[in-house]
């Protein structure tokens, strides 16, 4: 298994083009041609987590937070220990960060799953360019090989499904000019042949690789390849999530669900009036519309309130935002920045293992939030 194959999968799960402009996602350390047998997932690649990876003979780490965020002028053992040691041990490092936050089935969907949100939608929908659609025409006997080449280069992934394609039969015509070498027919003669139209979805960053792979697998001297840029509007991706519960529950019940899912024993609760222990009472009583935003999404509370949410779960929120949110009638729960993200690692590990069964996928046992309530 090559690093590039795993990178392709991670880009399909969370297209880097959808990450925030200020973010630094993708392959940050490593060689795309290196062999990988074992991958470890974590939120933060700390020195302790890196030592765990080395001891576990891991060749690649998916560190959710970028280990290289701002440009670095040097990589030495004392200036950037983790980057230096990862490179020294030949460990590739990939970051998904905000690309995974906005993706379907990503960080915010896993958080929404923990609370049982239904009929959910993004709090802040992605408005940038969406995926691309690649269309190519080929003979029926070779279209399967062309599709496989495209899949291997990063095309054909929709949500949790891989190898997605559409095949349509039709008639194609052409006439080779002087110096041409047509697969069927002779130069200067008009030909009409049965062909198959192959359509595939592809992340924008993989278009060049997929088109190159298609040309290499194609028998035609000059295959016709169309690339359509699809709008991201209307896609079920974006920052945060808001949805409804199957039936109204108390704040206390929601907090119990959050604690169970994240593994935290204590949460920060901001509510007015404060719910009494075990009762879940508070402004609004029972809760039916809930919103969440993993990490530092405290600033989205106004959007959550405007959407009708009475309860907002996030990683962290500024003091004055918490005061304003509770004064407006919103109950806010903060579980810690990375605690709101870490539960995604287990779900992501399952998706990677299902897509690449031969790859051993583990989740770091030493990765933890830097803050602890004592």
Domain ranges of the chain: 3-96+342-363, 107-126+238-335, 129-231
Distance (Å) of CA 342 to CA 102, 159, 180, 314, 366? 15, 21, 57, 13, 12
CA dist 310 and 284 (Å) reads 7
Same fold, 3-96+342-363 and 107-126+238-335: yes
Q: What is the pLDDT of residues 322-334, one digit of tens each?
A: 999 999 999 999 9
CATH architecture of 129-231: 2-Layer Sandwich (3.30)
Distance CA(351)–CA(367), nearest Å, equals: 20
Determine phi and psi for 145, rounding to 5 degrees: -65, -35
Measured CA to CA in angstroms, residue 343 lies from 110, 242, 247, 260, 359 at distances of 7, 18, 24, 11, 21
CATH topology of domain 107-126+238-335: 3.40.1390
3-96+342-363 has which CATH code?
3.40.1390.30
What the block records as the tokens of 123 is 């709090």
301-335: b (≥16 Cβ within 10 Å) or e: bebbbeeebbbbbbbbbeeebbeebbeeebbbbbb
134 exposed, middle or buried (CB, 10 Å; 0-12, 13-18, 19+)? buried
pLDDT of residue 178: 82
SS percent in the chain: helix, strand, coil, step 5: 30, 25, 40
* pLDDT mean by block of 10 residues, the chain; 374 residues: 93 87 94 96 98 98 96 89 96 97 95 96 79 92 95 84 91 82 79 91 88 95 90 72 96 95 95 57 72 97 96 97 96 96 97 95 96 83
Say what the pLDDT of residue 187 is.
82
Supply the pTM of this predicted model: 0.75
pLDDT digits (tens, 9 = 90+) for 192-242: 889 999 999 998 878 999 999 999 999 998 898 999 988 654 457 899 999
pLDDT of residue 183: 76
Please say whether the beta carbons of 336 and 264 come within 8 A: yes
């Amino acid at each position: 298994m090559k690093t590039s194959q795993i990178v392709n999968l991670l880009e399909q799960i969370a297209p880097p083009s959808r990450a925030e402009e200020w973010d630094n996602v993708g392959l940050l350390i490593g060689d795309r041609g290196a062999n990988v047998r074992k991958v470890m997932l974590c939120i933060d690649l700390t020195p302790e987590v890196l030592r765990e990876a080395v001891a576990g003979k891991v060749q690649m780490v998916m560190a959710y937070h970028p280990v290289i965020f701002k440009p670095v002028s040097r990589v030495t053992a004392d200036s950037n220990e983790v980057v230096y040691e990862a490179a020294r041990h030949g460990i590739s490092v990939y970051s998904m960060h905000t690309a995974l936050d906005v993706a379907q089935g990503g960080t915010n969907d896993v958080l929404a799953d923990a609370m049982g949100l239904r009929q959910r939608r993004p709090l802040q929908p992605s408005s940038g360019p969406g995926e691309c659609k690649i269309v190519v025409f080929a003979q029926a006997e070779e279209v399967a090989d062309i599709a496989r080449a495209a899949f291997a280069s990063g095309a054909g992934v929709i949500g949790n499904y891989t190898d997605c394609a559409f095949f349509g039969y039709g008639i194609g015509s052409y006439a080779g000019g002087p110096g041409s070498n047509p697969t069927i027919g002779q130069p200067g003669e008009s030909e009409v042949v049965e062909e198959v139209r192959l359509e595939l979805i592809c992340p924008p960053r993989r278009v060049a690789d997929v088109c190159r792979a298609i040309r290499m697998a194609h028998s035609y001297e000059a295959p016709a390849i169309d690339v359509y840029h699809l709008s991201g509007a209307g896609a079920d991706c974006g920052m945060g999530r808001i949805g409804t519960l199957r039936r109204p529950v108390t704040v206390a019940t929601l907090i119990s669900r959050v604690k169970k899912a994240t593994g935290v024993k204590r949460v920060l609760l901001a509510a007015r009036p404060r719910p009494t222990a075990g009762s879940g009472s508070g402004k609004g009583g029972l809760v039916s519309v809930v919103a969440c935003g993993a990490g530092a999404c405290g600033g989205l509370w106004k959007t959550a309130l405007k959407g009708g949410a009475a309860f907002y779960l996030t990683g962290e929120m500024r003091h004055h935002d918490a005061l304003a949110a509770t004064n407006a009638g919103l109950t806010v729960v903060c579980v810690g920045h990375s605690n709101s993200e870490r539960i995604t690692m287990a779900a992501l590990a399952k998706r990677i293992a299902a897509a690449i069964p031969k790859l051993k996928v583990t989740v770091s046992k030493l990765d933890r939030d830097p803050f602890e309530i004592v």
